Amino acid sequence: MRKITDIVIHCSATPEGKDFGAASIDRWHKERGWAGIGYHYVVKRDGTIEPGRPLEKAGAHVAGHNANSVGIVYIGGLAKDGKKAKDTRTPEQKTALRTIVAEMRRRFPEARVLGHRDFPGVRKDCPSFDVRTQL
């Protein structure tokens, strides 16, 4: 198993109220020329946690930090207009995120929990909420 130092939370940057899952993200990432879904877990609007890339494989979600991180994405993160960053997490997603983060912290107790935007040089609002105060 890889040494995990970071658990990284993302949003899918999709409009509020629209539901997608791991299969959609896998398709989007392949369309960009990637090997497949870059996240390890996907949290759907109903709170379902879907597997993405196998945990044993490095993700493709934070440039320069993939080798030692786990990527978790929730569906949403944009207002209905699809442009403005917004915390669109449903109550079910909030619960599911707490659950998957707790599981990852049990497996990797030394790992930090960060949002994508918390990495140096990242110019995104992702995941559209403050991970450090809410998770």
Q: Which residues are catalytic?
A: 10, 39, 116, 124, 126
Contacts of 123 (CB under 8 A, 6+ apart): none
Closest CA to 114 of 134, 93, 89: 134
The Cα–Cα gap between 97 and 39 comes to 14
Render 4-69 in DSSP notation, one character per residue: P-EEEEEE--EETT----HHHHHHHHHHTT-SS---SEEE-TTS-EEE-S-TTS--SSSTT--TTE
Amino acid at 41: Y
For 64, how many CA atoms within 13 A lie in the half-sphere containing its CB? 5
